[in-house]
Structure 1
Amino acid sequence: MSMRLSLCTILFLVILGYADSQLLQDEEQALLMKIKQHFEDSTPLSHWTPSSNLSHCSWPEITCTDGSVTGLSLADLNVVGSVPPFICDLKNLTVIDLYNNYITDVFPRFIYNCSKLVHLNLAQNIFIGTVPSDIDRLVKLTYLNLGSNNFSGEIPATIGLLQELRSLMLDHCLFNGSYPPEIGNLSNLEMLYVGPNSLLQPSRFPANYTQFKKLKTLWISESNLIGEIPETIGDMASLEEVDLSKNDFSGNIPRGLFMLKNLSILYLFKNRLSGEIPQVVDATKMTILDLSENNLTGPIPEDFGKLTQLTGMSLIFNQLSGPIPESMGRLPSLMDLRLFNNNLSGTLPPDFGRYSNLREFQVSDNKLTGKLPENLCYSGTLRGLVASDNNLSGELPESLGRNCSGLRLIKIQNNKFSGKIPSGLWTSFNMSILMLSNNSFTGELPEKLALNLSRLEIHDNKFSGRIPIGVSSWKNLVVFKASNNLFSGSVPQELTSLSLLTALLLDQNQLTGLLPSDILSWKSLSTLNLSRNQLSGTIPEKLGSLQSLTELDLSENRFSDKIPSQLGHLRINILNLSSNLLSGTIPSAFENAAYENSFLNNPGLCAGTQALNLRQCNAKPNMSDKLSTQFLALIITAGVAVFLFALCISIYIIRDYRRNRGLGSKWKLTSFQRLTFTETKIVPGLTESNLIGSGGSGKVYRVAINRLGDVVAVKKIWNNRKLEQKLEKEFDAEVKILSSIRHANIVKLMCCISSESSKLLVYEYLENRSLDRWLHGKNMTSSTVSAGSGLVHHDVLLDWPRRLKIAVGAAQGLCYMHHDSTPPVVHRDIKSSNILLDSDFNAKIADFGLAKLLIKEGEPATMSTVAGSFGYMAPEYAHTMRVNEKIDVYSFGVVLLELATGREANQGDEHTSLAEWAWRHVKEGNAIANALDEVIKEPCYLDEMCCVFKLGILCTSTLPSSRPSMKEVVHNLLRCNNQLAYGEKIVLSEYDFAPLLKNSKRERVFEDDHGSLATNV
């Protein structure tokens, strides 16, 4: 009886347990359907449908344990919205993974209700606000990833109380303050990603972080760390990967780093480390070593030859000296070696390439001697050989022409190489750039070149023979520089069929005969130099049809007859036709001082005016020869009397005018250029009829300075009382910055003129005024503009080639300010109205009233007020008021979007700016082509326009660390225009554009000779 009762009890309990389990599953499935409904715009969850056959535990995003949901992974599903507030109603959740979506929210504190949570991943979303100080309530967490979001404020010290943490990621956010030392208490930590966080205050490496005995990965790049790397970092015996790059560390590299037996990756590039590299190296598991762009001195350690696992090494831009250790040539795993821009000497180890699959070999800008290693391409994997600017000599290895089909780039200019080029090298299948200039190579050019060759530079050698007729097969050639060789014969007609050619330099050879007359295929040609040859005949009229041509040099030849009038249709910047046999009248377009040296030593030439150093055509006889002495005296006497009378009247008029206009103040002129005028030419021209613009800091006038029509632009800050303090500061800032800057793409400040109540800035006058007038039709008609506006006669709407030219020019000016000016300058108000255009649509950055010289060490890193323009202002600037170059990059990205779309900066849609609209357009999967300016969009420009649009997207990334530098912007703009040489990875390819929009971490490996081995992953 009792046994029967027990069986019944057990059966009852089983049925009850099953019922409870089924009830729990039903509740959990209902909650999951509620989560699906919460993300109703997210179609990737459409397969979440209740079924009698399949449990929700079979859904790929769900993990179950004993029939209950323990894991929810919605990673990479493009879900939009916020975190469901009822998510912790799934009582057994241990894992929440929302990685890489478009979730916009503050930190969801209701997650504290997930009492069993051990894994929380919110990375790569759009979370904002601060991380709460009570985050330590998640006591069971072993994994916490908040990276690549917009979290701001200080990192809470309470994270250091999460004692179970194994992995902590706080990288790519907007944190300020400094890294809390309490994180060093996480004794179980194995992975720590806390950089880049470029808005953190300068601080030293937290000393107690070196107590991490279990830590395997330490990534604290670009986080404003200063001082020395502590010696005790060598006590972290478990370290495998270390990235401390792009900080401001100084002092020596700790010896202990190279004694870590498990270390495989070490990035220390872009710091200020000095001294020698530690000589004893015991990190034999090292695979990647990058110490680039520091101040390291001394030799490369011999022990580097022990790094048998090493695949990549970059020591570029240091001051290393001495020979390259012989043993490094025998490293069996080495693929990428970058040693350029040092002081290395001696010969190259002969075994390089013989024992490994060498891909990149870059040793340029050193003092190396001897030959190139014979076996560089022994494995057939070599892609890039860069050894320029050394003292290398001898012939090129034959192996480069036999077993090197993957070779894309050779840059060995400025050495002492000799002999003939290996025949197979000319036609290597993937060859894109061949730069052999300034050596002593001999031989003739082949009939055929590599199909993909775009750049051939062989000038300053001893190449001879004729330019082959087979040149017509060089279809992809963009640049051909063959100056100062021994080429003979005529310029073949076949050369004119190269439609992609932009630069052709054949000067200082022995070419003879006539120039080909049919040259219209040179539609892209911008530079043509055939000087110092023996060419004859007439200058082809069709040169005047090459609208891209800006530099033309035909000097020191035997050209005869007239100069074609069609040349006057070109926008020539550099013209030299001197030392020929030309005759007749020069085209009227060239009768100005800019071309005064363009026609010398042509006895038969004459000019219509006296503007050039040429005899005047049909000069009239001197009238004074026909006048009697008496008549002349009478005229002079009468003239003097009239002059004295007029002078007296003028004195009274001017005195009265100045009194009535308030111009009687004493003016002080400070010049920054050679001037042909004084303040007396400027001040009277400040009239309403000459007014061409006004803004927050003053009015701008167009003032003529002589009778020849030369004009300047004058910016006036004018008050009847003392100048306001704000305007005074803006004036002083503009003078301080512009007076020290010299760059073709930055407006030229000629002088400043000041009095007690007024201040004037005098600039070069730019005929086409500001970009926004042309781009958005500000105050312009649809056909032509009035002469009084100062605008030249062009179509109002800019075509794409001009827009791209403007983008490149403005980027180059901004790049100079950020990277080449000392100290660097942040503009703070980049916008289309502050980009001015000259008569040839060359862009120049203007209006520096808000600019700031970059913070010097020890000075505050923030501004007291926010300055800038709506639609162009970087989001972090308004939030933190920190000033760095990335706020200019954001603003310039908006300008790029304007150029590509034709929209204004505040013209996204009803509630968004252009930058926000462009990001959403791509995020929603819309075709980029649909966002482009329909007025100018043509199939032949579509790729370039898409490329610029993508670059604008990249520049307007929410995270400053995700934006490129202006140097990278210039390179990518040139890439958009197919002008950049091989070597730069296209960061805007379709492959990595999508993850870029989500600020994803990705490896950026540079394949040129101007980049570090890798940046942060």
Structure 2
Amino acid sequence: MVTLPMAALLASFLFGGLSAVGALTDSFESSALKALMSDLQNLPPDWSGDDDPCGSGWGGITCQNSRIISIELSGNNISGQLQGDIGSFPELRILDLSYNKGLTGTLPGTIGNLRKLTELDLVGCGFTGPIPDKIGSLENLVRLSLNSNMFIGPIPPSLGNLSRLYWLDLADNRLSGSIPISNGSTPGLDLLVNTKHFHFGNNQLSGEIPPQLFRLNLSLIHLLFDNNKLTGSIPSTLGLVQSLEVIRLDRNSLTGPVPENFNNLTGLQGLRLSNNQLTGPLPNLTGMLALTYVDMSNNSFDVSDFPPWTTTLLSLTTLILEHTEIRGAIPVSLFSLPNLQKLILKTNQINGTLDLGSGSSNQLQLIDLQTNFIDDFKQSDANYNPEVILIGNPVCQESGSSAQNYCTIAHPKASYSTPPNNCLLPICSSNQISSPDCTCSYPFTGSLVFRSLLFSDIENSTYYKMLEESMMKYAQSHQLPVESVALSNPHEDSSGNLAVSLEIFPLKADRFNRTGVLSIGFALSNQTYKPPHIFGPFYFISEGYTNFSADIKTPPKTSGSEIGIIAGAAAGGFVLVLLIALVGVYIYRRKQRPPKATDLSNLFAGWDTSKSGSDVPQLKGARWFSLEEIKKYTNNFSEANCIGAGGYGKVYRGAIPAGKPVAIKRAQVGSMQGGVEFKNEIELLSRVHHKNLVGLVGFCFEQGEQLLVYEFLPNGNLKDTLTGNSGIRLDWPRRLRVALGAARGLAYLHELADPPIIHRDIKSTNILLDEDLNAKVSDFGLSKLMESGERGHISTQVKGTMGYLDPEYYLTQQLTEKSDVYSFGILILELVTARRPIERGKYIAREVKMAIDKTKVLYGLQGIIDPRIGSGTPLKGLENFIDLAMRCLEEAGADRPSMGEVVKEIERIMQLAGLSASHKSASSSASQGEEWRRNLQHPYNNEAFFEYSGGFPLSRVEPQ
């Protein structure tokens, strides 16, 4: 008989020997990759700590001569944080982790050790903190795409060292400060003479645009500085860069005149200078024959006659000169430009007769001349019929003019959606979607965002058919597993970009495998796919893919020298099988012995502080359940009782002897990685009791199991309700009551619990609803006690959920009750808009703040407010509710209200709305509640309930 120590020793020797003999990956790099695994979740299933990354062909890993040269894992819903081990691959050429929003935290500075890296693609993740200065050490870098994250702080001057850089995309972050320029001892972006793409839009960059940034020998094609806080004048040196094709400086605070030498940019196709404070004469663009799209609206130019150069731009599709002090009559020849599609000249001093002439152009769709001085309208060609809007002109003030089409605004056209390909659309089951070829499958989805269109008729199906054909041609030529693509809902977003929903359907299957998603994601993040040039520069944002089929693993290629190694490893196979059989017999016999009685006097005798990272829990009255009891309540963890599943465990519905339904969360057996969070939950919930806090019925810690037993809440979490996934509609009164309940729960934690408790992860998925839609705060895995002497703040590692995370806490690492108040402010906006805190790189707080106009009804937010909130109910008090949210979101915690004050303000708002603020819910009738309960998806049946960071139930820093 082999004893257990003997078996372990033999196994260690045999497996160790095989690993040493058969490994195809450099041992240091293999260890580093496996170390990264411990901090990441939702990795490809073929990533196994027992396998060799190169030898076993791990998904997304490419090797050469036993060294890892490429890590490509885009669109896989990976979550967690990158640690310093990422810098341990000296031969790495490509690192692409795009479209994994769960990747959060700061980017390790050790990434600067990857000296051979040529491409770093982190598009659409959830990274925060500053961009590491060490990236400037990657002298071979050709592509740097960090857009659509949450990076803060200045642009590192060290990026100026990247002399080979072709593509630099830092857009859609929260970068601040000035654009860095070299000064002799410090590098700057003016040294990037070979870079063709400067994409810095949608940040918070300030200061002047440095003249040193531009020179005659630059290769720059795209200059995108839109939606920042840049000031000062446009440097005249910009007119020297004759390679430029697109300039976007719109939506800043630029002043002064447009440089006279701009008409030297004869290759320029798109020019957007709108929404600044530019002065002086309207620039003369004569000779810029490639110009397609011109927008200089909303500036303070001098009063001038209608610019004659407009009629010479034969490529022009779009001319937008709204509020630019233009006067006089529009020349008839303007309407004969062969490619003109849209002409917007609102709020100027244009007068006389609007004469469209015979109109040789058949592309013109819109002429918008609202609020001018036009007194007559002539149209010679009846077949030439664009939409003309003359509201606010004298011609529309004459008797009978209201009957004219040009004195009204037409209804918007139907949005484009890819039609079926000569087939009848089927009715698809589950979450499947019908493709244009009428097959049901799970597509890879996301949004294509085009930053500088060269056309303006976004309702024109011709362009989208062109784009679809282009994408399919690319997929076929690169042998991507794509059956078809579908586009829908093209619209202009808040930044002036064209956003289009994209669905990519799998070829000859109902779902993609991971290899297919990786190849598609890489083509879009890496910009390997190029759309037709009229769409201009683009980026793609995916929500990730979850419906993977099994990958068919391709055996790794082996050299002649490696065949002997593999044969040697195979020679040990018989010994391995024999050893496993012996160990199995031993374990079987051990299991036949009667188990020892549970030591009830010391429930946590087996608590391993080295693994759990925390001391033994200190309990105050929490009920302990034995594992046998839990098995009985769940029918031995029957799949029929499973009501949810996630990366680190499952949730089961059970019933304790009194008949009360409970929800039982079970971690993976033997996992102690979440010991801190398990301890937090049972310690905190055993000591606090409030009707707006989820109730902990008990727990079980036995035989390596970690189980938490909660009260069962049938109406799910608030996020599912707001998105419509639960089947419940929350009108305005119910949303106020939900807010009040959650606020009361938080106020209890802050002001009545002893010691006070900071929740640290307030968000819509952690607000659960009972049978009467009363709100209950849940998930205390990240909560912190404010012990005596810590009343001001706690200095602690930053944790929470991106989008809800208090920026002051993030920057100072000092946690206070006001950090929960900030998160609650985001929750208020979520209640009002039903939007996620971050959507496509846009912050709901910023979007609402920018849209508020207190001179208008409902602050002018009708386009942002969730349309399901009203349904005939007046939104009394909504403006006050928005004001409260803005107070909660103040930059400094000291300026935010306490949760007690928040409770009082919501109660006051409810009184204004004519609602009762009593504790008893005034929600649905019993019959309505029963109907909801019959139609609900279960609240725990979603991944949000299992958003761990290596344990049970660990919350996280993650995007929403």
TM-score by length of 2: 0.42
Q: Whose Rg is larger?
A: 1
TM-score by length of 1: 0.40
